[in-house]
Amino acid sequence: MTAIAKGSKVLVTGANGYIPMWVVRILLERGYTVRATVRTAGNIGYIKEYFAKLGYGDNKLEFVVVEDIIKEDAFDEAVKGMDGIIHMASPFHHHAKNPQEVISPAVQGTIGVLKSAYKNGTNVKRIVVTSSTASIHGTLEPHKFTELDWNTHSPSIIEEQGEKSNPIYIYLASKTLAERAAWEFVGKVKAEVNWDLAVINPTYVFGPPIHDLKSVTSLNTSLAMWYGSIFPEVPKTKEELTQSLTWVDVRDVALTHVFALEIPEAGGERFIASAESFIWQDWLDALNTLQTNPLPSHAIAKGFPELSAGEKTYDVVYETTKAHDVLGVKWTSMADSGRDTLAEFAKRGW
């Protein structure tokens, strides 16, 4: 299908979040008009003021309050008149006690947007949904994952253990179930609609925040983990610094969403957004190469530089050729991402 043209109208759900704020910014910078959904009117002020300072007024950015994304018709009005939709509103935390605390809003919120587009999205040409590599990483064995992989392990654990499930598995399962439900719904209605679906699967997301944060204690889950790993206030053990994960810069994730909206060949595809695998010592090494510390109030931990000597084995590796070849994405380096993040923290007085 034909993707949307620059200058079109785009709906962004959950617009006050870490990644969505960057998506809104990039869309505005590329000439789009944005309709942003938030859960409460209280979230509008900061977003409006932030983008007004960048020169984007009410003629380019409007807001809709969607209090409960689980409601069947929650997005019916929001999708009207939109040419594209980027659905990002979904919970991300690891402390749910009941699986449905996370699974219901993830699944029903995603399906709700698609249903509203089915009913009222007359002009919609492309819908991009934020999923996660959590819906891909489906084995505990060393493996190079691609977009063909699916996480079947976590949903099976939730089915077996119910409320006794580890909160991490609850989150992982929520992403798998939400994405599966999205593709199944689109498969049923594709002959009746003028739009198609693309899905972005980011790994852990780090990088400079531009959303509303009162202090470091209100950092989102992934960025809080990053913050807690690079400063020496709570020294990390060698075992902690060799924890193997994968990461991507928030600005790169935002760009993959926008490119997936614009590029015709992205329709019907899912894209892994992952810059590289790492151990935490890699981050300390990269940040210690900076000529000056952008956040002089905080010393950067040295860790154990000897951990970087020799060949390292990463537990999880993602193949990102598709994002590069189809979307043309280039990943930000650790040093650049870390420098910009520390500079943003300094700007906020942290």
Q: What is the pLDDT of residues 280-338, one digit of tens each?
A: 999 999 999 999 999 999 999 999 999 988 778 888 999 999 999 999 999 999 999 99
Task: Using the predicted structure, report yes or no on whether residue 116 has a pLDDT greater than 80.
Answer: yes
* Residue 65 contacts residue 41 (beta carbons within 8 Å): yes
Q: What is the pLDDT of residue 170?
A: 84
pLDDT (mean) for 86-115: 80
Task: Using the predicted structure, report yes or no on whether residue 234 has a pLDDT greater than 90.
Answer: no
Residue with tokens 């329709």: 267
Query: Cα(214)–Cα(173) distance, rounded to whole angstroms?
Result: 30
Task: Using the predicted structure, report yes or no on whether residue 93 has a pLDDT greater than 60.
Answer: no
Task: Using the predicted structure, report yes or no on whether residue 137 has a pLDDT greater than 90.
Answer: no
Give the Cα-Cα-Cα angle 40, 45, 47 (nearest 5 degrees).
Answer: 95
SS3 of 227, please?
Answer: helix
Other beta carbons within 10 angstroms of residue 156's beta carbon come to: 13
The structure tokens listed for 134 are 């959590």
Domain residue ranges in the chain: 9-206+247-275+318-331
Sign of CA dihedral 331, 333, 336, 340: positive
Q: What is the pLDDT of residue 207?
A: 98
pLDDT (mean) for 81-90: 92
Torsion of CA 128, 175, 202, 26, to 10 degrees: 40
Q: What is the pLDDT of residue 5?
A: 83
* CB neighbour list of residue 43: distance below 8 Å, 6 or more residues apart: 16, 212
State the greatest distance between any 2 C-alpha atoms of the chain, in Å, as a whole number: 59
**Which CATH code of 1.10.10.10, 3.40.50.970, 3.40.50.720, 3.40.50.10090 fits the domain covering 9-206+247-275+318-331?**
3.40.50.720
Q: What is the pLDDT of residue 2?
A: 65
Q: What is the pLDDT of residue 1?
A: 64
Chain center to CA of 268: 19
Q: What is the pLDDT of residue 94?
A: 55
Q: What is the pLDDT of residue 91?
A: 58
Phi, psi of 81 (to 5 degrees): 80, 0
Q: How confident is the model at residue 71 (pLDDT cuts 50, 70, 90)?
A: confident
Task: Using the predicted structure, report yes or no on whether residue 165 has a pLDDT greater than 90.
Answer: no
Query: Cα(242)–Cα(245) distance, rounded to whole angstroms?
Result: 9
SS3 of 81, please?
Answer: coil
CA 338 vs CA 22, 78, 210, 284: distances in Å: 17, 36, 15, 10
Torsion of CA 1, 72, 257, 85, to 10 degrees: 50
* Residues annotated catalytic, as ranges: 175
Q: What is the pLDDT of residue 9?
A: 98
Q: What is the gyration radius of the CA atoms in the chain, in angstroms?
A: 20
Lowest-confidence segment of 6-20, 95-109, 170-184 by average pLDDT: 95-109
